[in-house]
Structure formats: structure tokens, C-alpha cells
A = this chain, B = another copy of it.
């Protein structure tokens, strides 16, 4: 199993961090679009959220008690301790990968 999270997973996870209490499907999609600077499909995000939840890196819960007012119930997501760890470790591994490499690379092709 890859010990480094993929770019998309990191984007989704970091979106949760930034949105904090306001992290639910559609808001995550919007935030991830900004982070990655491109359009991201709803399915892509939900599929990733499901996988991350299956791995225990995030947890979800439907709109807490409060009455639903604007459409379907929102599903809120939050990072678990394991999620925070995985994110930190991925970042660290990536830093190590580039350590000792002057960047940006000069086109030496």
C-alpha cells in the first residue's frame, strides 16, 4: 500500500481541514476545485471520500439533528486522528523525496 497519499486525496483531506465544521460533499468539491485549480467531478470527490472513510482517515455524519431546509440532508466529514497522521506523513515523505534536490529543476534534457 502506498505510504504516500495521492495528490487528489491530499486535496480532499486538506479541504476538510480548511472547511473545518463546514465540510460536506458539495463544499468540499468547491474547495478542492480551488486547491487544485481545476474542475473536479462530484463523483470523483465522493468516491474518494468513501475510500478515505473506509481506511479510517475520515468519519462522516448526517446533518446533526437540525432540520433539513435546503434539499437533501448534508453529510458532514471530519478528519480522524489517523487522517491527520496520514496527511502529515505524506507531506514528510514528499519533503524527504525532494530533499537535496535544487528546485525548480533546470531543463537538462
Q: Chain A residues in contact with chain B, CB under 8 A?
A: 2-8, 10-11, 14, 17-18, 35-38, 78-85, 87-88, 90-94, 96-98, 100-101, 103-109
Contact = CB atoms under 8 A, between A and B. Distances in A.
11 contacts: A17-B101, A18-B100, A37-B96, A81-B107, A82-B109, A83-B109, A84-B109, A88-B105, A91-B98, A91-B104, A92-B104
Contact of A2 (B7, B18, B93, B100): B7
Contacts of A83: 109
Question: How many copies, total?
Answer: 2
Nearest to A102: B17
A87 B105 contact: yes
Contacts of A4: 6-8
B97 A81 contact: no
Given A18-B101, A37-B96, A82-B109, 10 more contacts: A3-B38, A4-B8, A17-B105, A37-B93, A79-B109, A80-B109, A83-B109, A84-B106, A85-B107, A88-B105
